[in-house]
Amino acid sequence: MKRHSSRLRGFLPMAILCVAGSHAGVATATVADTVPRIAWSPCPAGFVDPVWQPVWGQRLECGIMTAPLAYDDSAEGDIAVALIRIKAGEPSERQGALFFNFGGPGASPVNFLPDTAYLWSSASKDDPLDGDKRRLADRYDLVAVIPRGLAGGTWYGCQPVAPTGIDGNDLSIYRNNAAWRIFVDDAAARASACADRLMPYLGTLDHVHDMERARMALGETRMNFFGVSYGARVGALYAAAYPMRTGRMVLDSSMNFTATFEEQFDETPRERHEQFMLRALIPAVSDVRYGLGTDPDAVLRHFMRMPGKARQAWGPLISKPATLSAALVMASRAVSDDEVTVDFMRQHIDSRPFSIHTAVNRYIRTAAVSLIDALEADAPAEIIRRPVYYAVICGDTPWHRTLPALRERARGWATSFPTSTGESIDAGLVCHHWEPSSRRQPRLPGREDAPSFLMVHAAFDSATPLALARKAFVASPRASMVVADGMAGHGIFGASATPCVEHSVGHFLLTGELPAERETHCAYEPRKPQQHSGRADEPDLDERRKVLLQRLRHS
């Protein structure tokens, strides 16, 4: 495979300080003999969104530390690891540090932590819903270790690969043998383009050891941690490696951290399709006002006949009957991908009503406008860096499926779960061609001796479905779980006014007290808009919450 040199990005010109001893594997991780150090300084220009510098001032800092490239001594050399923190708002009340991982893999906390801290710090201590968030921001440094390979530390990247000429990678749409061959060759090219000496040393376990190194450098006696999505895997692996150092740990919208990545990808399409059926299709055919008929199979066939461009753009956004109706009606007016354009759809949106019922027509039209906007929306900023993403999902745990097995699975999903995207098969293809790693982490079974921790989840989470998170919960006898019934979302703490979620998480992080019951449910309550101060130098709270939630959905 073609190799290329590693590059340094971000603020590596900062002083790189001392190196600590190595850690062994999960079962025998030990404390380093030498306390490591972090070089903290103001974040370099352009590294963090400039909106935050006047908000945080000297409370916002970026750090750099050196770490062994391989904690198990399988390779020589060091790697630069970056950090970001927002220091406690009330230094006299400081009680420690709270570490974060916002998901991915391959997502940088630089895109999440400043927003999170701003929302928490803007709350009133007297607010019955958000007061605990303010107390957390006042009493704790909010810290994140930036995963290896991302900007700020030692950079890991891939060589460019020629485009395939196919718009997207959804194998439920592009089902012929010629397209399959293109997808296979493209996956092989992408895997080969990422070959680098750093590749085996970017895994979750390496990141966990970096977190422990940062904990020691900060002088914290315990690792208090908040992880979202893949961040739950990070937290679970830390607890397995360092059970005596694990403090208060919250896992929000958790993936099934007891499974391999291949198993997680295998099980997600079914869950996503069932959510589509339960939340959008069945309600639509049960209500004649949506005008889709009463046969769910017929509606599903209609969905599958949508032009590929519309289906790829709109399919992941369909979570309500109004959105499904809008997508099907608009797609029926386009006979090819060439007509799935903003101008064409806007010309036809007023050609006839969506429903003869005024209220439902209004709901569907609103949904249609949102779908049209999605066609012209700029691609979201790269929240997940694909080189690091693949290095982790392909390198952490084994992938077993052969190319014929993946082909058969793609055919089966195209028929059984047509609302699933091509993400799972694409991941399988890339990881099939990925250079095998001898440093894969062990499977994480539920551990009876693991520390207590809290899981929170929305009832409907298409990114990390509740049914899969529940497998990790059942396997973790000392875990507690809080579920927001009726809520759809990913990264839910602070996203709503659901009392059992907001109160349980804040209270646990402040006191260590878990809910009285092992599993708690309460009804979802939407969050009301917040009053803006009107000051031009203060970001709008609702807008920043919206930005944060959008990024979490893509993490």
pLDDT in tens, 495-532: 999 999 999 999 999 999 999 999 999 999 999 997 66
Q: Three-state DSSP class for 360?
A: helix
In this predicted structure, the answer to whether residue 3 has a pLDDT above a threshold of 50 is no
Q: Which amino acid would we find at residue 378?
A: D
pLDDT for residue 28: 42
pLDDT for residue 497: 98
Average pLDDT rounded to a whole number, residues 448-469? 93
pLDDT in tens, 378-405: 555 679 999 999 999 999 999 999 999 9
**Residue-range domain boundaries for the chain:** 1-159+194-260+440-555, 164-177+261-384+392-396+400-433
pLDDT for residue 537: 74
pLDDT for residue 10: 46
pLDDT in tens, 71-123: 999 999 999 999 999 999 999 999 999 999 999 999 999 999 999 999 999 99
Residue 508, Cβ neighbours under 10 Å: how many?
22
Answer yes or no: are the C-beta atoms of 98 and 509 closer than 8 Å: yes
CA 50-53-57 angle, 5° bins: 175
Gap between the Cα atoms of 4 and 397, Å rounded: 24
Q: Which amino acid would we find at residue 41?
A: S
Average pLDDT rounded to a whole number, residues 369-374? 86
Interstrand relation of 519-523 and 479-488 (parallel, antiparallel or unpaired): parallel
The residue behind tokens 């917040």 is 530
In this predicted structure, the answer to whether residue 311 has a pLDDT above a threshold of 90 is no
Gap between the Cα atoms of 255 and 270, Å rounded: 15
Residue 181, Cβ neighbours under 10 Å: how many?
10
What lies within 8 Å, CB to CB, of 95 at 6+ separation is 88, 139, 140
pLDDT for residue 207: 98
Average pLDDT rounded to a whole number, residues 288-293? 96
CATH number, domain 1-159+194-260+440-555: 3.40.50.1820
In this predicted structure, the answer to whether residue 187 has a pLDDT above a threshold of 70 is yes
In this predicted structure, the answer to whether residue 13 has a pLDDT above a threshold of 50 is no
pLDDT for residue 17: 31
**pTM of this prediction?**
0.91
pLDDT for residue 138: 99
In this predicted structure, the answer to whether residue 344 has a pLDDT above a threshold of 90 is no
* Residue 347 burial (10 A CB sphere; 0-12, 13-18, 19+): exposed
What lies within 8 Å, CB to CB, of 282 at 6+ separation is 296
Express as a percent the part of the chain with pLDDT over 70.
89
CA 464-544-111 angle, 5° bins: 60
In this predicted structure, the answer to whether residue 8 has a pLDDT above a threshold of 70 is no
pLDDT for residue 446: 57
The residue behind tokens 């293809």 is 429
Average pLDDT rounded to a whole number, residues 487-500? 97
Q: Which residues of 47-71 are buried (b: 16+ CB within 10 A; e: fewer)?
A: bbeeebeebbeebbbbbbbbbbbbb
pLDDT for residue 232: 98
Average pLDDT rounded to a whole number, residues 174-187? 92
Q: Three-state DSSP class for 431?
A: helix
The DSSP symbol for 229 reads: T
Gap between the Cα atoms of 68 and 148, Å rounded: 12
Residue 352, Cβ neighbours under 10 Å: how many?
8
Mean pLDDT, the chain, rounded, equals 89
Which band of pLDDT confidence, cut at 50, 70 and 90, is reported for residue 6?
very low
Answer yes or no: are the C-beta atoms of 494 and 507 closer than 8 Å: no
pLDDT for residue 5: 36
In this predicted structure, the answer to whether residue 141 has a pLDDT above a threshold of 90 is yes
The residue behind tokens 């499926």 is 401
Q: Which residues of 191-219 are buried (b: 16+ CB within 10 A; e: fewer)?
A: bbbbebebbbbbbbbbbbbbbbbbbbbbe
**Range scoring the smallest mean pLDDT among 161-165, 267-271, 281-285, 454-458:** 161-165
pLDDT in tens, 200-237: 999 999 999 999 999 999 999 999 999 999 999 999 99
Interstrand relation of 453-460 and 479-488 (parallel, antiparallel or unpaired): parallel
pLDDT for residue 535: 65
Torsions phi, psi for 161 (to 5 deg): -120, 140
- Joined together, the tokens standing for residue 172 give 């439920």
Q: How far is residue 193 CA from its own chain's centroid? A: 24
Gap between the Cα atoms of 328 and 508, Å rounded: 45
Q: Give the C-alpha distances (Å, rounded to integers) separating 155 from 4, 6, 147, 473.
A: 12, 6, 10, 35
**Range scoring the smallest mean pLDDT among 63-72, 407-416, 505-514:** 407-416
pLDDT for residue 533: 58
- Asked if residue 269 has a cis previous peptide bond (ω within 30° of 0), the answer is no
pLDDT for residue 313: 83
The residue behind tokens 């903003």 is 342
Answer yes or no: are the C-beta atoms of 372 and 345 closer than 8 Å: yes
